[in-house]
Amino acid sequence: MPITPATATHSSSSGTEDAILLELVDENGVTIGTAEKLAAHQPPGQLHRAFSVFLFDERGRLLLQQRAVGKYHSPGVWSNTCCGHPYPGEAPFAAAARRTHEELGVSPSLLAEAGTVRYNHPDPDSGLVEQEYNHLFVGLVQSPLRPDADEVGATAFVTPAELAERHAKDTFSAWFMTVLDAARPAVRELTGPSAGW
């Protein structure tokens, strides 16, 4: 069962409630500690480990997700296929695969590392700050989506031209273009020149 709101807790083996913790990292991505999820996003933000996934269909179209309106951070905006935070000690690759399945009900048929990007993006609507060391992943999705309505408001597969049109009229997450631009070399390698990424 997915647990994503910043204030959500989960039961430990002793039956007590534990706060969701994120890995704090230095500028080189080396773990230096942990912080509670919401606290890490309070201004000015604490640099923490995150991941972003970009999945494509057989036609080279990017799967976008509209974040559910109940999300604590950037609700209702469009963004990349999946993003989130590894639990402390969890490999970013494993976290990316886990959250993709939890949010969209699918496992990528291919998932590959696509580098990292460091950014600082305040969210003017919530007042929270994305101060992240982000691990990027690209891959393929070939199964029907089964989105979790608590996580995902809508989905869409888009070509580069359709993305440009949608980006001009819809609201996207503050980090979307940063992570997409950083992932583009791997996206082009995955989708080939004819896809236009």
If 0-12 CB within 10 Å is exposed, 13-18 middle and 19+ buried, where does residue 140 land? middle
Give the pLDDT of residue 17: 52
For residue 11, give the amino acid letter.
S
Confirm whether 82 is a catalytic residue. Answer: no
Of the candidates 83, 103, 130, 151, the residue annotated as catalytic is: 83
Give the pLDDT of residue 11: 33
What span, in angstroms and rounded, lies between the C-alpha atoms of 178 and 119?
8
Confirm whether 103 is a catalytic residue. Answer: no
CA neighbor of 83 nearest in space, from 109, 50, 60 = 50
Alpha helices, DSSP H, located in the chain: 37-40, 92-104, 160-169, 176-191
User: Which token pair is 163?
Assistant: 């993305």
User: For the whole prediction, is pTM greater than 0.85?
Assistant: yes
Of the candidates 23, 130, 132, 151, the residue annotated as catalytic is: 132
The series of mean pLDDT values per 10 residues for the chain, 197 residues long, is 33 52 97 96 96 97 94 87 96 98 96 98 86 98 96 97 96 94 97 95
Q: Are 183 and 52 in contact (CB under 8 A)?
A: yes
For residue 1, give the amino acid letter.
M
Give the pLDDT of residue 94: 98
